[in-house]
Amino acid sequence: MTTKARSLTTQQEHDIDLMRAAVERDLALWWHQNARDLPWRFGRTSPWGVLVSEVMSQQTQMSRVVGYWEAWMNKWPDATALAKAPTAEVIAAWGRLGYPRRALRLQECAGVVSEQYHDQLPHDYESLVALPGIGDYTASAVMSFAFGERVAVIDTNIRRVLGRAFLGVESLGGSTSPVERTLAWRVLPEAAAQSVVWNQGVMELGALVCTAKQPGCDSCPLRSMCVFLAAGRPGLGERRTRPRQRFQGTNRQVRGIILQSLRDLPDGQSVVTYDKLRELWPDRAQLDLCIDSLEHDGLVEIVDGHAVRLPQ
DNA sequence: GTCCCGAGAT
DNA sequence: ATCTCAGGAC
């Protein structure tokens, strides 16, 4: 009988409750000594600035985000400023952060916040998660990090750390399981202020120490209580079910090349011809497919059927 | 489930 | 040169 558990056992609940306070104490201490000094942390930006940092950080390492975030917030300090910007400029400013549809969704989001919410981010999860480009993770992160509310933030780092520390198992990817969600809420500190430190601490620990492949258990603040370490780190680095996404030769690479050619255009030029694009990517069928998909996404406009430009 | 990027590590 | 990593929309 190897049926996947649908909920925590009574024994697991008991063990988790015994561990919780010690983890909270040691993690908070570690956080205060090891937190990276990112510009959107420690109350130095608005809720909108926090949201921008979270959207930029989706699927992207923090170290790559910092410079973009600073330039972006300098240029468009609030939702209304971003909503009014030319879309071509927004896409260009997204630069090489990757997944440029995020930039489009962020500008749409800015439009909704500007018009429906008077330029102030809504303070409730349901309204946040309904915004363009904002899913469960980002809505929860804003509720916790920007508004200080008691919300369980769940991303892959947190799933990995909590699964290891409290259950002694690897989080194997795919969508968040009911067990993972139940666990995240059960261990979350009752006091709102403590819950924010907890969320940030668990995420930071997952990013800096409790990494997927080579966790630094020797320097982990939880090494004395971690169930995963005590069990001999069973299945460490086990293949995630998430499908591998190679890059070479994919539509993602071709779309990237097309957008890069548009971003890097000299001043005064705004279009790139299909002929020029064929020099960059000779496979005409794939190129046409990617141009169409970029247009469909709203990331480019087609000019007279022979060139592309950023949306005006 | 599949599709969206790009940089840093190895 | 190849591998690894990460949320949201559909």
| Domain range enclosing A223 | 10-34+151-230
Determine the pLDDT at residue A4.
65
Determine the pLDDT at residue A244.
55
| Bases of strand C lying below 7 A from some protein CB | 3-9
CATH number of the domain to which A78 belongs: 1.10.340.30
Element (H, E) at A55: helix A47-57
| Bases of strand B lying below 7 A from some protein CB | 1-8, 10
Chain A window 124-163: residues with CB closer than 7 Å to nucleic chain C are: 132-139, 155-157, 160
Residues A165 and A99 in one domain: no
List the A135 CA – C10 C1' distance (angstroms). 13
List the A180 CA – C5 C1' distance (angstroms). 20
- Pick out the nucleotide with least CA–C1' distance to A203: C6
User: pLDDT per residue over A38-71, tens digit each?
Assistant: 999 999 999 999 999 999 999 999 989 999 999 9
Listing DSSP states for A5-53 in one string gives PSS--HHHHHHHHHHHHHHHHHHHHHHHHH----TTSTT-S-HHHHHHH
Is residue A262, in this structure, part of any structural domain at all? yes
- In order along its 312 residues, chain A shows pLDDT tens digits of 445 677 899 999 999 999 999 999 999 999 999 999 999 999 999 999 999 999 999 999 998 999 999 999 999 999 999 999 999 999 999 999 999 999 999 999 999 999 999 999 999 999 999 999 999 999 999 999 999 999 999 999 999 999 999 999 999 877 899 999 999 999 999 999 999 999 999 999 999 999 998 999 999 999 999 999 999 999 898 766 545 556 778 899 999 999 999 999 998 999 999 999 999 999 999 999 999 999 999 999 999 999 999 998
A219 DSSP assignment: G
Kindly name the residue from A24, A54, A170, A204 that is annotated as catalytic.
Answer: A54
- Pick out the nucleotide with least CA–C1' distance to A237: C4
Q: Which residue is nearest nucleotide C7, judged by alpha carbon to C1' distance?
A: A58
Is residue A72, in this structure, part of any structural domain at all? yes
CATH number of the domain to which A25 belongs: 1.10.1670.10
- Pick out the nucleotide with least CA–C1' distance to A140: C7
Tally of domains in chain A: 3
Residues A80 and A137 in one domain: yes
The answer to whether A149 and A143 are in contact (CB under 8 A) is: yes
List the A99 CA – C7 C1' distance (angstroms). 11
Last residue of a domain, which of A230, A263, A292?
Answer: A230
- Is there contact between A259 and strand B, defined as CB under 7 Å from any strand atom? yes
Is residue A237, in this structure, part of any structural domain at all? no
d(CA A147, CA A46): 10
Last residue of a domain, which of A98, A119, A146?
Answer: A146
User: pLDDT per residue over A232-286, tens digit each?
Assistant: 999 898 766 545 556 778 899 999 999 999 999 998 999 999 999 999 999 999 9
Determine the pLDDT at residue A241.
54
Residues A82 and A104 in one domain: yes
Element (H, E) at A285: helix A284-297
Determine the pLDDT at residue A2.
44
State yes or no: is A301 an active-site residue.
no
d(CA A208, CA A188): 21
Determine the pLDDT at residue A239.
66
Is residue A130, in this structure, part of any structural domain at all? yes
d(CA A30, CA A238): 27
- Pick out the nucleotide with least CA–C1' distance to A98: B5
